[in-house]
Amino acid sequence: MGYLICDNCEGYYELQEGEYPDDFENCQCGGNLKHMEQNKHYSNSKMPMRCSNCAHVNIGAAVSCSQCGTSLDKVRKPYNRSANYEHEQMEKEIKSEGKSMIFVGVIQIISFGFLDPLWGVLLIIIGVLCFVVVNKIMLVISSLIILVAGTFNFFVGGFWSIFAIFQLLIGLKYLYFAINRPVKSPYSN
């Protein structure tokens, strides 16, 4: 198995059973990851340590947190990046997209007479589903639906073209997240 160690922030991640170094592109901070069989990279005094007060990750032999000044524990507990980090990030993005979909759907319904309210109802339903079905396919489906609704609204013209551009930008943003998000589930072996 081994460890992945960031050459930028010096954080590390212990590979779990069934995970390989090639499953990971970069560290959370954007740094490059190096694979090591054993974690000899850190001496006990250089292990990254998360502050119990502000959750800042302190690197080196600091006695107090560089962010808030709280005294760090004498026993250094290494900061190990969560195995579920990618899944947690994707879950936040999906729920954020769900909120956006509901908001845009309500505006679509309120603007009855200019925009088709059926798209609004569909956007709200998909937005609610984003809170229930939290996986990558939901990110793709909701992105594509808001892109289609935005495209139809663009042809209404006038002020609604600006609203349609807003919809298109939301759809493109989340489609980008969906395409660039790793498929690997943190629960798979």
pLDDT at 121: 92
Kindly report, residue by residue over 117-172, the tens digit of the pLDDT.
888 899 899 999 988 888 778 888 888 988 998 898 888 888 888 888 988 998 89
Provide the pLDDT for residue 41: 45
Whether residue 111 is predicted with pLDDT greater than 50 in this model: the reply is: yes
Work out whether the CA dihedral 36, 6, 58, 83 comes out positive or negative.
negative
Indicate left, alpha or beta for 128 from its phi (over 0: left) and psi (-120 to 50: alpha): alpha
The answer to whether residue 72 scores a pLDDT higher than 70 is no
For the CA atoms of 122, 123, 125, 128, what is the dihedral angle to 10 degrees?
170
Torsion, Cα 60 45 51 81, to 10 degrees, reads: 80
Per cent of the chain over pLDDT 70 is 72
Confidence category of residue 47, pLDDT binned at 50, 70, 90: low
Q: How confident is the model at residue 106 (pLDDT cuts 50, 70, 90)?
A: very high
Q: Count Cα atoms within 13 angstroms, Cβ side, for 154.
A: 11
- Two tokens, residue 177: 């997240």
Helices and strands per DSSP (H, E), number in the chain: 4, 5
